[in-house]
Structure 1
């Protein structure tokens, strides 16, 4: 006769198997749709990256192995776009994280009108990216843009600047627009995490006489490491595949072009589907490797604490 412990273990195991089968049953339609919508185009892109496919005649494409990939890696313009993309991701995500933390801490305090401010904060994030970029393009215009008008009125500049035409200025303009639009996203995630922190810890810190700065660095920030890591990785992934803001503001110039813009240029302007697909595959690989490294390092840090 089986012992109660054995029966309980067997029942739990059977229940676990039933739940697993049910989970897979419910997930199967979603996985199939994702396979068709995302997996098929991704697979075709990988395949084209091993061919000399041309937009004018895709049927005549031939398998060329790693030749298309070699063309991308030997192109100095590709490495310029890699540097631009990673620099953009680093600067913009850093600024968005810092500003998002400051705004989230402010909105987490109790004051009159807090709900209205929280709703207003989300407006830049709710505006479509292309609309935001076009709006800021008008504001940055060197002839009738409000940015130059404001800086001229206070004497910050002596003449109008071509913010989106000069590479040095264009990069800063793109970062500014991205920070304006995406900081609310970081604020929302950080604010949600702040709402989940236990109030008893802060009460104990106040009793101990800890200053607000000490409370932030020794209490709040350590407890936010997990959610903050998730928020940062989401933004980095989004920033590494940026395309629309650069394209609208700068028109796709090589010196201010991200990796996604390079892939698009080779595919549709040069009609080199094979080379463009190789660039897109490299972008996918770089993002995958960066994500894996970030998650491994973050997991080690979290487990070490």
Structure 2
């Protein structure tokens, strides 16, 4: 009597359970936990250092308080904000600030991207030299840079008029030329910063995608628009966000070049003038709070507008 041996049955394959839609994966959860462990102490210290001045400024903004007359300090609720928001000086300064921010950030993005491409494609032997030369303006202190530009365009000691044959043209005597020089000085100083951030983004673009696009017959412009820029979305968002926040708080160049004259006053300079020059602590604190809220609004608009999915950028589903 013969017996037949049944072949062993294979256990069915079990697929790994995926996280529910909208929930964090185990990898994302562990990375978030590690991120909080690494950044948590620094975040707590920064919060303690910055929270008190913000709260104090908001508290002082609720008072009619001048250092020249400290005995007449009175609680006025939100009247300082009403005074500011109904004054044309605030809206004039806000318009100047927004104009400087839009112009400088837009130009810096284009120039910074071009410089990042140059640094990325430079020959290996000369790449350190090229990167160092491009980043030199960003290493200069802002006040020193502003003085250099003011000296070049100054009516009495400037050399630009001599080079251009403009005679005694006063660049800082009118609003538009003064703002143009302020924007040029900002662009020259901070374009390397954007190029550095975009260079890091270019390094993250897979070369395989570029080669595949070439094989498919895509032109350089098509590869730039369809391959390079989409894969640099996170880097572009970070560069624009940081520069927009910095440009909106512009103070040094205006202080050195024009002192806010001829309608070149920014919101930060306006807050300085009210608080330091006129010693109006209540109005100055209210202006500082409004500048802070504008900065927060800019950050929210950029983050929500770009809608960068960091999980997808890491290759997660």
TM-score bucket (shorter structure) = 0.7 to 0.9
Residue among 41, 46, 62 paired with 1:50: 62
Residues 85-119 of structure 1 show CA distances to partners (whole Å, capped at 9, x for unaligned) of 00110000000000001111122113252210101
Residue among 109, 120, 134 paired with 1:108: 120
Q: Distance in 1 between matches of 2:39 and 2:93?
A: 41
Q: Distance in 1 between matches of 2:175 and 2:201?
A: 38
Matched residue SS, 2:167: coil
2:103 paired with 1:91:
yes
Cross-structure match for 1:194: 202
2:128 paired with 1:132:
no
Map of 1:88-237 to 2, 5 A cutoff?
Answer: 88-111=100-123, 112-152=125-165, 158-237=166-245
Q: Distance in 1 between matches of 2:290 and 2:39?
A: 33
Matched residue SS, 2:168: coil
**Preserved CA contact (<8 Å) 2:142 2:252:** yes
Matched residue SS, 1:170: helix
Pick which of 126-135 and 158-167 moved more.
158-167
**Preserved CA contact (<8 Å) 1:51 1:65:** yes
Shift of residue 252, structure 1, vs aligned partner: 2.2
Residue among 247, 251, 265 paired with 1:257: 265
Q: Distance in 2 between matches of 1:118 and 1:110?
A: 9
Q: Distance in 1 between matches of 2:178 and 2:164?
A: 17
**Preserved CA contact (<8 Å) 2:174 2:262:** no
Q: Distance in 1 between matches of 2:60 and 2:189?
A: 35
Q: Distance in 2 between matches of 1:228 and 1:300?
A: 10
**Preserved CA contact (<8 Å) 1:81 1:254:** no
5+ residue gaps, structure 2, are 1-15, 17-25, 313-317
**Preserved CA contact (<8 Å) 2:66 2:280:** yes
More helix by share: 1
Residues 255-281 of structure 1 show CA distances to partners (whole Å, capped at 9, x for unaligned) of 001000111111122211101111111
2:297 paired with 1:289:
yes
Cα distance change, pair 20–200 in 1 and its aligned pair in 2 (3 A): closer
Which structure: larger Rg? Answer: 2
Cα distance change, pair 300–228 in 1 and its aligned pair in 2 (3 A): closer
Shift of residue 224, structure 1, vs aligned partner: 1.3
Q: Distance in 2 between matches of 1:84 and 1:290?
A: 16
TM (normalized to structure 1)?
A: 0.85
**Preserved CA contact (<8 Å) 1:193 1:227:** yes
5+ residue gaps, structure 1, are 6-12, 153-157
Cα distance change, pair 144–62 in 1 and its aligned pair in 2 (3 A): same
Cross-structure match for 2:74: 62
Cα distance change, pair 208–297 in 1 and its aligned pair in 2 (3 A): same
The number of residues matched between the two structures is: 284
**Preserved CA contact (<8 Å) 1:68 1:278:** yes
